[in-house]
A and B are shown apart, each in its own frame.
Chain A
């Protein structure tokens, strides 16, 4: 391998290298870090962020942004929990419509997709900048969550629902299965399908894609709907893990997922990046969160360190893309 090739592969795997370095340092500092238990622990903790970040990657690949994911997550989790626990009471009678586990989850997922679709609709139909459209949705969905929950958590949702977030299947925690399946599907979509090619094309050059006959609006609608759906999956995972839908769930999750995407090397201007990069980004953030707590680092310092890591990742990425 000559030097130039060596260099490009180094650039390609920079987040993996960063992760390995981080893990080596942490396992030297704490003997509790590199254990089977703690590995599953970290994987389970990041599964929600992975789901959201996969959606965020697709959105950022088409040069958009979705700031509403945290609120959509909270709303969908709360809707599923509320339907499961209380159903929908029918006005002026003692009856109510009950929901099965599957029914409640399905409604939650549909609501998430619809909110995403609505984001896409305002962006494509009215040319509202994605930043503004999804910022508005961030507030709207949070408000709807407050209305639905009346500001109080919905708790004690039953063992079968809790199993989704806390159970194990074939020796692997269920949330890890779910996020893993999400990642696989997303990798297939981006690498092997027409939709995937269109996503990269639109992010790379929107007007050229339009001229070549791609139905840009349809792709955008699909991508925002997927982001909403994945936020809803995250919401159901969080709710199930906690056995409680919190009205303030998911606050600032959009920032964690953007951080994962950026650390993973996806360009914020679209067209360049991978799902696996984002997964690495999410793992790095998860490992960092876990490691700082394991070492009992002061909460004040933790925020500084996390911010510095994000900054460093982007600086390295920028420096490398200049050299290319």
Chain B
């Protein structure tokens, strides 16, 4: 029995050794803020697919919007010998310590979509410019409403930086037009069902609105659904953000007015490519790249597909 135990232990060590050094294939960890939202699923899967197509092993870690869980994911990734981390942070400030931890362990981190507030911790950050995207969206919003009307804003999760980046970008322009009046501002947590319910209630208080701006496309779909239920879908213009497939279809059918296309595919692939170049010896990466978010309306919808360009 004792001997069996020793053999078993030996076997364990051998596999462990192999896991660390024996495998010549390098590994990339994709640590993503959440997999509860199709946009991030797409981001994570694209990053993993690109890593694999470059000849690396890749595994996705889900932080479930929890910075503490994210810290565990980093520990596990570093301990199990991942050579690079393609990272979508849960929080700009809260995630800094995790990135620093990886850097100290000699594992380069490439941020995707969301930023960490530290100039040197990450090897490179490939970010989505939500703020400027929303300024473009706001321009179109003002134009479509002819600078006059009542509108509703539906915010995402109020503890999320993206929520406020988008809202601030939008208001940085819209607030200059006194004819545009925000009659309600509510949160629906980036959730389609909540957005529908919130919109249904808002429509009771303000049956005469002209437009809705939603912090993401899931909420835009939910708000649209509420407008259909109230028989107001033809009169009220809906604006979203993300470029999700349901909304792309809805813009084609002129049900939703506009969205802002982010490019998760571009960001994920760039991050994986950078990690590949890092392994091959390159060290001078741009600290920060802003990937513009582009305005999508019925006029240019032909150029776009869900989460990207044709």
Which residues of A does B touch, CB under 8 Å?
A: 30, 32-33, 35, 37-38, 41, 44-45, 146, 150-153, 155-156, 166, 238, 241-244, 246-249, 251, 289-290, 293-296, 299-300
For B206, give the chain A residue with the smallest CB separation. A32
Which residues of B does A touch, CB under 8 Å?
A: 35-38, 41-42, 45, 155, 158, 183-187, 191-193, 196-198, 200-202, 204-205, 218, 221-222, 225, 228-229, 245-246, 249
A289 close to B201 (CB less than 8 A): yes
A244 and B249 alpha carbons, distance in the complex (Å): 14
Instruction: Across the A-B interface, give the 8 residue pairs with the lowest CB-CB distance, nearest first.
Output: A151-B41, A299-B187, A293-B201, A248-B36, A38-B204, A294-B205, A152-B38, A32-B205
A37 close to B204 (CB less than 8 A): yes
A293 close to B202 (CB less than 8 A): yes
A170 and B198 alpha carbons, distance in the complex (Å): 26
A246 and B196 alpha carbons, distance in the complex (Å): 13
CB A291 to nearest CB in B, in angstroms, measures 8
A45 close to B41 (CB less than 8 A): no
CB A288 to nearest CB in B, in angstroms, measures 11
Chain B residues near A155: list those with CB within 8 A: 221, 245-246
A41 close to B200 (CB less than 8 A): yes
A146 and B64 alpha carbons, distance in the complex (Å): 13
CB B49 to nearest CB in A, in angstroms, measures 13
CB A80 to nearest CB in B, in angstroms, measures 16
B229 close to A166 (CB less than 8 A): yes
Chain B residues near A30: list those with CB within 8 A: 205
Q: A45-B197, A246-B218 are in contact. Are A293 and B186 (CB under 8 A)?
A: yes
A41 close to B201 (CB less than 8 A): yes
A246 close to B192 (CB less than 8 A): yes
Best-surrounded residue of B37, B155, B204 (most CB of chain A within 10 A) = B204
Chain B residues near A156: list those with CB within 8 A: 246, 249
A81 and B96 alpha carbons, distance in the complex (Å): 40
Chain B residues near A299: list those with CB within 8 A: 155, 158, 186-187
CB B64 to nearest CB in A, in angstroms, measures 10
A289 and B196 alpha carbons, distance in the complex (Å): 13
B191 close to A241 (CB less than 8 A): no
For B44, give the chain A residue with the smallest CB separation. A151
A146 and B44 alpha carbons, distance in the complex (Å): 14
Chain A residues near B37: list those with CB within 8 A: 248
For A146, give the chain B residue with the smallest CB separation. B35
B205 close to A249 (CB less than 8 A): no
A150 and B35 alpha carbons, distance in the complex (Å): 10
A35 and B207 alpha carbons, distance in the complex (Å): 13
Chain B residues near A241: list those with CB within 8 A: 193, 196, 225
A44 and B155 alpha carbons, distance in the complex (Å): 23
B221 close to A244 (CB less than 8 A): yes
CB B39 to nearest CB in A, in angstroms, measures 10
Sample 19 A-B pairs with CB under 8 A, ordered by A number. A32-B204, A37-B204, A45-B197, A150-B41, A152-B41, A153-B192, A153-B218, A153-B246, A156-B249, A242-B192, A242-B193, A244-B221, A246-B218, A247-B38, A249-B193, A289-B197, A293-B198, A293-B202, A299-B186
Chain B residues near A32: list those with CB within 8 A: 204-205
A294 close to B192 (CB less than 8 A): no
CB B220 to nearest CB in A, in angstroms, measures 12
